[in-house]
Amino acid sequence: MAEITVNLVLGKLADAVVQEALSLYGVREKVGQIERQLKWIQAFLKDADTKRHKDERVKQWVKEVREVGDLIEDVLDKFLEEVGGGKPEGLANVLKGIGKMPMKLFSKHKLGSEIDKINQRICEITENRKKYGIEELKETSSTGASVMLPIRPFFHPDIDETEVVGFEVDKKTIVDQLIDTNKMRRDVISIVGAGGSGKTTLAKEVYKSAEVKRHFDISMWLTISQEYKLMDILIKMLEKIRKVHDSERQNKEEEYFITELNKSMKERKYLIVLDDVWSINVWTDQLQAALPNANNGSRVLITTRFINIPEEIDRISKPHVIQPLNEEESKQLLLKKVFPNQFANECPNNLLPLTTEFTKICRGWPLPLVVLGGILSRKNPDHITWDEVMQKMDWQTDGRIFMGVISTSYEDLPIALKPCFMYFGVFPEDYQIKATTLIQLWIAEGFIRQEGSKSLEDIAEGYLDELVQRCMVQVSKRSYIGKIKYCHIHDLLRDLAVQKAKESNFLTVVSKNDTNLSCSTCARRVALHGYGNKMIEQACKKNIRSLINFEDVPNFNKFGTLRVLHMGTVSREYFNGTNCLKGLNALTALKYYGLEGDHNWFSIKCNFPTVRFFKRSPLTYMKNLQTVHTWFCKSHGELPPSFWGNKQLRHINLSCCWNHHQQQTPEGPPSAADLQSLLTLKGVRARQDWVIELPKFPYLRKLGIDIPEDVAGEPLINSLSNLNHLGSLYLYMEGGNCRMTFPDCISAFRNHNHLYSFSLEWGRWPRKEIGDCTLFPPHLVKLTLWRFSFEEDPMPQLEKLPNLKVLNLYGKIDATDGKQMICSRGGFDRLQRLQLYVRYLEEWKIEEGAMPMLNQLQMASNWMQIVPDLQYLVNLQELTVDCLDEFKARLEGEDQWKIKHIPSVKISVKIH
């Protein structure tokens, strides 16, 4: 769609840096002519888009508009690169030497010439519009550039819950099959249904059932999809049973993990869910051998779209085929989505006939009902508006009702949201997408425009919430303050995103199955899913702007125009050659640099990337960076001052591949650095000059720093306490920094109303008291204390924190009145997750009525003599215990009654 290209180009032209550069070089007025022409063309693009499928001439006109938009982007990028990005200090440097003056004059003349050519092309395009009969259409509220504010509250606990309607009988049938004690042999049970029929929803309801959880010793959920890696599945399965060590990941092959799984599960009754199976081979040729076939009532539950898959499995129960919802169930599901904060029977009477029509046309399938509900939830609840939706709906697209509804949901999006939705196509099928990564990619791509005083991140969060409310994106997990943490997209909606992106040449997605690649058909954004290094250059155009890469690491020498580079889930096998990340220092135009990969592998290869690849850190050359997510190792050395001179920096997250006791993190920005846009700073070492002069990043939201022993801790923390926008804070006191007490440290932030997460780690084991609970930030939700030697039981103070939902305690107890902790009745009334790893703790008392909302508990009990009264934790869903043989024997023997109500229990034995 040329409409999206033009909208993005107009956004770039409006950028303050671009405007400043154009003004300083005296070409602003010429570019202003282009901007006015593009706005005029934009008014006709909606009509052109509706006609382009029927008229080849209109299709060609749309293509020409898109090409001229790309040309404008090329010219602007080239110009900004030559003149230093439009920064006044950059331009001043150009003027320092007389020898550099011709370059300035050449850039101005060249830009003027290019602009004249573009204006001429735009005039030709305008004339052609009249020939093809393309008319201006009035914009409706749903197609304009702005996005409507959500009418729901920011967070409602029921918004993201999967609506389960009409599956009660199906659920009971499958649960009965799973827990049937008359069948002790391993049984394979299947749920079969088309994409969007609700088979995964049904399987999740069965899997989460307390009855099922209690029946099996081990339960695992594995998403298979079309493209899967057996090694990843095997490691994930073994991780559900015990810790997988780094040496195993590095050196072992598939056969080793198959053997280990057989040994670990030999005497245990298990339930394995294989969701979205596309090939029978995943079970018959691969996973079946990894699971012991003992006659103990173990089960395997498969969901698939293909009836032939369960039919080909030996000794399998009859497939459970999903049936569509009846009319009443369909109406109930639709109205739950349309009116999420009301009862379904509050639907206005005049809309009931249309509601009936909608449900009949959706034929009882959940996905079109849910997506249609998302469309209607954004409309006024009146007959005229709903009837317009009915008339516009392409109900029979390709003969598939699913595609007709979800295509309409895309067309109904505001123009600003369309590129954001299409961008979901860059992620592999069934991928769990980190919301912060997605939002930062959107910003780097230029999809998010400034609106008033809001930050770009806040605006992008609103966009994501809007897509969730429209039921086009699903929330996988929220943070403990209600923000989206992970999200995913249904396969059919992802297919739509890829299809629309391909039609508009917005994005090219390349997978292993693509054998015929053509550079001429590839867009400026390329997503590579499991594609070999040798084919990457074939898949990418010379002027590629974005490369989102999974698994493979290419040679970057020929990709100098890249603005966005994101490498997610990069596997270890791609880091074993001398060409690893070759040419990375050539990416001088990058705005976003993200390297996720396999963290366990990077922990082993702690010298990655090694000095043989880079004389200096590649970050030295990336002068336009806004966002950096990468591993930063000793071989990089310190970050150069030029890196911190970049005023555009927004997010710096330098994850380290070593233990703090062995290496040092790079030094943070100097206090003189002017970083007004910086929101995240993690993985750096504090500087002495921060104590004297507060760093100039006043809007910082996330801070994670190491405080060296030679830096005075108390003055520094008092200085940092002036950062009033902090939401998350991590401090590591190197060498213990024993001159500070914990009360002094925490009380410096007691008036921070936005601080919800606080983590403190000491490098040694100083004796520390917790202090009074009134010293803590008032809205603290998550607290982590590492390497603490508690002088007294910390629980009496911590349990009074009114908003605490997550507590992680790692340390030892040196209390003079006994090595015990007590959680009293009514304490921790909002706590949901607790990790308790306290050395020398002999007894942990839990009173009845303590921690009433706790659902996750991880604990080490190497010194405990008595099993805690876990029976009082009535809502506990997951228990993980790291213990000695004696404690394990008590949990599985005389004290088993204390944990029998917990659906998921994982006990690991370690050597004391």
Short-list 767, 771, 745, CA closest to 758: 745
Partners of 667 in beta bridges? 685
What SS3 class is residue 189? strand
Half-sphere CA count of 519, side-chain side, radius 13 A: 9
pTM: 0.87
**Chain position carrying tokens 């107890």:** 813
Backbone angles phi, psi at 740, to 5 degrees: -105, 150
User: For the residues 427-449, what does the mean pLDDT come to?
Assistant: 92
Q: ∠ CA 702-704-705 to the nearest 5 degrees? A: 140
**Chain position carrying tokens 């300083």:** 24
Q: What is the pLDDT of residue 459?
A: 94
- Looking at 9-18, 64-73, 383-392, 828-837, which range is the least confident one? 9-18
Rounded Cα distance, 38 and 28, in Å: 15
Percent of the chain with pLDDT over 70: 79
Rounded Cα distance, 191 and 302, in Å: 6
Rounded Cα distance, 903 and 895, in Å: 16
Phi-psi region of 353 (alpha: psi -120 to 50; beta: other; left: phi over 0): alpha
Rounded Cα distance, 529 and 498, in Å: 13
User: For the residues 219-248, what does the mean pLDDT come to?
Assistant: 82
User: For the residues 393-398, what does the mean pLDDT come to?
Assistant: 56
Half-sphere CA count of 825, side-chain side, radius 13 A: 3
Does residue 899 contact residue 214 with C-beta atoms inside 8 Å? no
Short-list 207, 349, 344, CA closest to 272: 207
Rounded Cα distance, 725 and 352, in Å: 48
The fold for domain 2-131 equals 1.20.5
Q: Is the pLDDT of residue 17 over 60?
A: yes
Rounded Cα distance, 603 and 61, in Å: 53
Rounded Cα distance, 535 and 447, in Å: 29
User: For the residues 57-79, what does the mean pLDDT come to?
Assistant: 81
Between 598 and 888, the higher pLDDT residue: 888
CATH code: domain 168-321 is 3.40.50.300
Percent of the chain with pLDDT over 90: 22
Short-list 432, 481, 487, 425, CA closest to 460: 487
Residues in the chain: 912
Q: What is the pLDDT of residue 388?
A: 86
Q: What is the 3-state secondary structure (H, E, C) of 26-78?
A: CCHHHHHHHHHHHHHHHHHHHHHHHHCCCCHHHHHHHHHHHHHHHHHHHHHHH
Identity at 640, one-letter amino acid code? P
Q: Is the pLDDT of residue 487 over 50?
A: yes
Tell me the pLDDT band of 50, cut-offs 50, 70 and 90: low
Q: Quick one: angle between helices 28-51 and 101-131, nearest 10?
A: 30
Q: What is the DSSP string of 98-166?
A: GGGHHHHHHHHHHHHHHHHHHHHHHHHHHHHHHHTT----PPPTTTSSS-PPPSS-S--TTTTS----S
Q: Is the pLDDT of residue 859 over 70?
A: yes
Between 717 and 346, the higher pLDDT residue: 717
The sign of the torsion formed by the CA atoms of 458, 461, 463, 466 equals negative
Tell me the pLDDT band of 466, cut-offs 50, 70 and 90: very high
The CA distances from residue 778 to 180, 280, 726, 769, in Å, are 51, 55, 13, 19
- Looking at 83-97, 398-412, 697-711, which range is the least confident one? 83-97
Tell me the pLDDT band of 96, cut-offs 50, 70 and 90: very low
Identity at 375, one-letter amino acid code? I
User: For the residues 396-400, what does the mean pLDDT come to?
Assistant: 50
Q: Is the pLDDT of residue 661 over 60?
A: no
Identity at 529, one-letter amino acid code? H
Strands (E), 424-507: 433-434, 474-478, 484-488
Rounded Cα distance, 897 and 837, in Å: 23
- Those residues with Cβ within 8 angstroms of residue 283's Cβ, 6 or more apart along the chain or in another chain: 188, 274, 277, 300, 302, 313
Q: What is the pLDDT of residues 281-318, one digit of tens each?
A: 888 777 888 888 888 889 999 998 888 777 666 556 67
CATH architecture, domain 327-502: Orthogonal Bundle (1.10)
The CA distances from residue 456 to 222, 402, 441, 535, 771, in Å, are 35, 34, 12, 36, 39
- Those residues with Cβ within 8 angstroms of residue 478's Cβ, 6 or more apart along the chain or in another chain: 155, 160, 484, 485
Q: What is the pLDDT of residues 154-189, one digit of tens each?
A: 333 333 445 578 788 889 999 999 999 888 888 889
Tell me the pLDDT band of 752, cut-offs 50, 70 and 90: very high
Short-list 488, 489, 487, 552, CA closest to 526: 552
Domain layout of the chain by residue ranges? 2-131, 168-321, 327-502, 513-658, 792-912
Pairing of strands 484-488, 433-434: antiparallel
Does residue 222 contact residue 196 with C-beta atoms inside 8 Å? no
User: For the residues 454-470, what does the mean pLDDT come to?
Assistant: 93
Tell me the pLDDT band of 739, cut-offs 50, 70 and 90: low
Name the CA radius of gyration of the chain, rounded: 30
Q: What is the pLDDT of residue 596?
A: 67
Short-list 746, 734, 744, 742, CA closest to 767: 742
User: For the residues 756-771, what does the mean pLDDT come to?
Assistant: 78
Q: What is the pLDDT of residue 103?
A: 46
Short-list 484, 489, 372, 366, CA closest to 420: 489
Tell me the pLDDT band of 448, cut-offs 50, 70 and 90: very high
Rounded Cα distance, 633 and 312, in Å: 51
* CB crowding 48-65: b at 16 or more within 10 Å, else e: bbebbeeeeebbebbebb
Short-list 887, 886, 891, CA closest to 870: 891
Long-range contacts of residues 524-532, Cβ cutoff 8 Å, at least 24 apart: 524/70, 525/426, 525/445, 525/564, 527/425, 527/426, 527/427, 528/552, 529/227, 529/428, 530/227
